Chains A and B, each alone.
Chain A
């Protein structure tokens, strides 16, 4: 694709959790999966609009208010997360990390940080708002494909973790609520899918260079904004896999091209509002979906889409069709299961005859299409109304929306683009002044890329190994060991930190972690010639099996070794030299230096 001609523009927003306690209380930033021991349930009200007027739609929503259940832990969450205690002053460590990143990106730090309340209506914050603050502005990031502007760098609190979504109740866990997040937003300065990936990767590297950000799945989230000329901004929210970013962008560009074509094709087509009850046509249907809907006292309803027969099947992106645009909206709005487009039928137990009956009831011509939904009546109506509305919007082209990135590089509709969030001051938090002298004290860390280069030069490591060491966050540990345990070669330390645990994992097929202090003990023993290099694999295997005991691998002294060797030689008188060597090594592996064994055997023979 010629992205320049298409006028592709991408921007990214990055949210990264900081590795420090929570932003507005002293609770640890600890994500938990275990059973919570606290549960409260709350309702959220749509509060009065900006102008002081009651929003009719909001008032309507209040009638059928949703309940939010919040789970929490008495030992790692407190009343602040439960919205039962005012927030504590802002976490200074978190502020300092954001100041450091701001300096790295040449952004201008504000004189005084003002914490804001950003209204959130989905229940993911117990307070009904997210606390957020602008720390610096107008940063820049230089990448190979050009300079990207970063207008805002913010420090904010993470939301609660969604556990379950239901039609009238959502369940959240509060362990994630309040974890400090740095939020960086770029201008739409990326003009190719690859550049978007490069920028996301580069900013991620900068963040990790501080060594004060969390690592692992879910600790960093990217939102990618995509538009083409004549299209509109689509946000692909929560992209986790950097490698897929180019594909998500490319596919969204394809989708927008397709929808702009459809826009021309639907000119003059009027979508009827009428919803037809066609339940009576399906009394004897063999279709599983239809039967299950009918047993639940559901209905089957249809709408007609004039002149849509060829349009529905048009591909928007690989594996997604115009019909998917409609069904995404329908399923979202009504939470319905069975939704069929005419162009995918007959299938799912719906027969030619059924189709004919529907077509004649809806008065469909050959060019016309229809959509049917089977479920409970209120759900069906909601879903079909959403489908009609979406179908009508084809004449606008691209509708701003938030899309969910799928693992295969496609995306699907998540929700409409929220309007400008209402922000107003968080009066419970005193603003934080940032003095020039404080800012001067914040030092720039070495970039991970620079560090890898330095590690290659200083310790004669291969570039790949140095990259892995820095990317995996083990560079600090590596350099500490290299300096402390000079008798152990840097390359061996690196291999032991990176490769050996992987080999052990592969061999015994088990997840495990090795603590920094275990590594330290191992290298210290090696440095002091208390254990042999050849014992390391077994020691790490022991750690994996929870049997860690370094003393088992203590090297034998000369006398002991000699005694043991003599014994083994006597026991294996008949063995030839090679076999004896094998037996001895098997018995004494890890307990004596192989070189010394060889020497002894040679002397004997």
Chain B
């Protein structure tokens, strides 16, 4: 007799009873001491394995074939390429077993899940990787940059990247630095609610993202997710200024130190809310993917052990970003905790140290207090203006791929490359 597999109809015999139903997979993270069966009315129950005498297969699972869908080209609509990288927005649930599939999401799959996309753009789509957002790193960002360039070269009117939300703001910063002379918009979107539910934010997010990619006049990297808890509009946030500010809300992504660039209403109307952005052009898009992985982002906190700096220096790191307190402080006066000697050592070794702020909002300042002056003048730390620590971290890694000279790093760090530095901070940009 065949060994029971997920999706098979089985009969489970225990000491007291026989139970018939469909055998379901047990999630890996749970103990393997229970057999899960879907009963005829749809409910699942768990049966203690120690009670089970035997499991017989009544009927093997039949795989259902999907009907192919026809993709028609509408010459009136823009051409948008969707590159999926994993995450909930490009996944489908197997309602039989409850498992989630997210491999090889193609245009057909997108149109199957989001049929209204056909009214927004001519879609091309492919999966360029399939990983969880928390595992994304330079190799993935560079792959994305190269694939985006390919699609732009092929004549796409805009690109949509789908990924998991956790580190989406690292991706948006990295792509902003790597994609030089970008001629079309690159829109990164994701979902906070899984797409098996009718209430998922994925539907509006993706439709708005494709709309923005196809017709927004700006040619930068933007994130595009819910603007509020309601399904009324998404906001476009400039890549290096975006940050995930909530673990689970739909409107978790907020712009830091500037206003959102535009609202993309669900009816497709795009309302510009901040007109400081680069327009579409005929430039030749470049993927400048050089970078240095040996950069670190270090959280500053009271009582921290400053030897952490030594750890990174010993490991051969080429640059450090400190998420410092407020205007840019680190423990300074207490000899047991002062970071100064360590930072000076780093600078002596030509390892640039960047100061960003853990308050996120506001600009760091090298001179207001004595201790700041000690950091900036004595220790020669580089102050990262109004960049978030994450953006500063990504930017430093990207710069170090181009130069390791501290002076040049400093100059590049403090020069606006992709909208990451705002010389003027809009008063209304706080907590929006």
Q: Which residues of A contact B (CB under 8 A)?
A: 40-48, 50-54, 59, 62-63, 67, 79, 82-86, 108, 110-114, 116-119, 121, 126-129, 132-134, 152, 154, 420-425, 427, 430-431, 433
Q: Which residue of B lies closest to A46 (CB)?
A: B198
Q: Which residue of A lies closest to B17 (CB)?
A: A108
**Which of A45, A85, A423 is B42 in contact with, Cβ under 8 Å?**
A423
What chain B residues lie within 8 Å of A54 (beta carbons)?
69, 112, 115
Inter-chain contact A424/B250, CB cutoff 8 Å: no
Q: Which residue of B lies closest to A52 (CB)?
A: B66
What chain B residues lie within 8 Å of A52 (beta carbons)?
64, 66, 92, 112
Q: Which residues of B contact A (CB under 8 A)?
A: 17, 24, 27, 30, 34, 36, 38-39, 41-48, 51, 64, 66-67, 69, 92-93, 95-96, 98, 112-113, 115-116, 193, 195-200, 203-204, 228-232, 247-250, 266
**Which of B30, B115, B195, B266 is A431 in contact with, Cβ under 8 Å?**
B30
Q: Which residue of A lies closest to B114 (CB)?
A: A45
Query: Within the complex, what minimum Cβ distance (angstroms) separates A347 from chain B?
Result: 44
A111 to B92, CA, bound (A): 30
Query: Within the complex, what minimum Cβ distance (angstroms) separates A43 from chain B?
Result: 5
- In the complex, which of the residues B48, B92, B198 has the most CB atoms of chain A within 10 Å of its own CB atom? B198
**Which of B42, B69, B197 is A421 in contact with, Cβ under 8 Å?**
B42
Inter-chain contact A114/B43, CB cutoff 8 Å: yes
Inter-chain contact A111/B46, CB cutoff 8 Å: yes
Inter-chain contact A129/B197, CB cutoff 8 Å: yes
Query: Within the complex, what minimum Cβ distance (angstroms) separates B331 from chain A?
Result: 35
Query: Within the complex, what minimum Cβ distance (angstroms) separates B294 from chain A?
Result: 36
Inter-chain contact A112/B197, CB cutoff 8 Å: no
What chain B residues lie within 8 Å of A132 (beta carbons)?
43
What chain A residues lie within 8 Å of B199 (beta carbons)?
42, 44, 83, 126-128
Q: List 6 A-B contacts (CB under 8 A).
A: A40-B228, A50-B95, A111-B47, A119-B198, A127-B199, A424-B95
What chain A residues lie within 8 Å of B47 (beta carbons)?
110-112
Q: Which 10 A-B residue pairs are closest in the complex by CB-CB distance?
A: A112-B46, A128-B198, A423-B42, A425-B98, A134-B43, A44-B198, A128-B197, A114-B44, A111-B48, A128-B199
**Which of B41, B67, B98 is A152 in contact with, Cβ under 8 Å?**
B41
Inter-chain contact A424/B93, CB cutoff 8 Å: yes
What chain B residues lie within 8 Å of A62 (beta carbons)?
115-116
Inter-chain contact A41/B231, CB cutoff 8 Å: yes
What chain B residues lie within 8 Å of A59 (beta carbons)?
115
- Given A85-B248, A112-B34: A45 touches B98 (CB 8 Å cut-off): no
Inter-chain contact B193/A83, CB cutoff 8 Å: yes
Inter-chain contact A110/B95, CB cutoff 8 Å: no
- In the complex, which of the residues B24, B43, B46, B247 has the most CB atoms of chain A within 10 Å of its own CB atom? B43
- Given A43-B204, A53-B66, A114-B36: A121 touches B198 (CB 8 Å cut-off): yes
A117 to B38, CA, bound (A): 13
- Given A40-B230, A51-B66: A84 touches B197 (CB 8 Å cut-off): no
Q: Which residue of A lies closest to B26 (CB)?
A: A431
What chain B residues lie within 8 Å of A47 (beta carbons)?
195-198, 200
Query: Within the complex, what minimum Cβ distance (angstroms) separates B404 from chain A?
Result: 44
Query: Within the complex, what minimum Cβ distance (angstroms) separates A283 from chain B?
Result: 39
A118 to B95, CA, bound (A): 11
A128 to B196, CA, bound (A): 9
A121 to B199, CA, bound (A): 10
Inter-chain contact A424/B115, CB cutoff 8 Å: no
A553 to B92, CA, bound (A): 72
**Which of A110, A114, A117, A118 is B196 in contact with, Cβ under 8 Å?**
A117
Inter-chain contact A424/B98, CB cutoff 8 Å: yes
